[in-house]
């Protein structure tokens, strides 16, 4: 597999596997386990992009994720409606106007990828800070998308 194919595969994996962390939602703790799980998943996959093509790889992976996220923002509502119409059901997804899958992907991935690229020589620090940024930005993303109350 060439570099572009590998980065695209990593980006697709990151975009589509964020739904797997929803299983962590029942875990108690001071930090939402889904936020921490998403941060772990995103940092791990961005680090794989870094391993394939260095700093360009991590930035390209985040860029491909952002493009997929934009595409899914349009595609998910259309596909939910098309499926519901095809099987004669009411639309259950997208009732609040926010498509679920692209909303699970952290919006801050491009700056986080820049942080990882900048600190690539100290990977433990880069990964820790990247995970912290994603986890801290997750409540802000929910507030923005869903008009949710601010975290306490």
* pLDDT for 120 beyond 90: yes
Summarize the chain as % helix, strand, coil (round to 5). Answer: 80, 0, 20
Query: What Å distances lie between residue 137 and 2, 10, 105, 125, 144, CA to CA?
Result: 33, 22, 11, 18, 11
Average pLDDT, rounded, for the chain: 90
Q: What is the pLDDT of residues 34-54, one digit of tens each?
A: 999 999 999 999 999 999 999
Give pLDDT, residue 9.
94
The pLDDT of residue 119 = 97
| Average pLDDT of the residues in 66-89 | 87
Give residue-wise pLDDT tens across range 91-111: 666 566 788 888 899 999 999
Can you tell me the distance from the alpha carbon of 59 to that of 10, in angstroms, rounded to the nearest whole number?
A: 12
Is the separation of the CB atoms in 67 and 14 below 8 Å? no
Greatest extent of the chain over all pairs of C-alpha atoms, in Å: 55
pLDDT of 92: 65
Radius of gyration of the chain (CA): 16
Domain ranges of the chain: 3-146
Token pair listed for 37:
């799980």
Tokens standing for 96? 């609040």
**Angle, CA of 61, 63 and 68, to the nearest 5°:** 95
């Amino acid at each position: 597999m060439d570099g572009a194919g590998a980065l695209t595969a990593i980006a697709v994996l990151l975009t589509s596997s964020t739904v797997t962390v929803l299983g962590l939602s029942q875990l108690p703790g001071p930090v939402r386990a889904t936020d921490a799980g998403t941060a772990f998943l995103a940092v791990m996959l961005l680090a794989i992009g870094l391993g394939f093509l260095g700093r360009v790889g991590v930035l390209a992976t985040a860029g491909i994720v952002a493009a997929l996220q934009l595409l899914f923002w349009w595609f998910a509502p259309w596909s939910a409606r098309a499926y519901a119409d095809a099987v004669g059901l009411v639309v259950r997804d997208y009732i609040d106007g926010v498509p679920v899958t692209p909303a699970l992907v952290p919006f801050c991935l491009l700056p986080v990828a820049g942080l990882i690229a900048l600190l690539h020589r100290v990977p433990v620090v880069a990964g820790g800070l990247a995970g912290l940024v994603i986890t801290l930005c997750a409540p802000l993303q929910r507030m923005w998308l869903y008009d949710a109350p601010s975290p306490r």
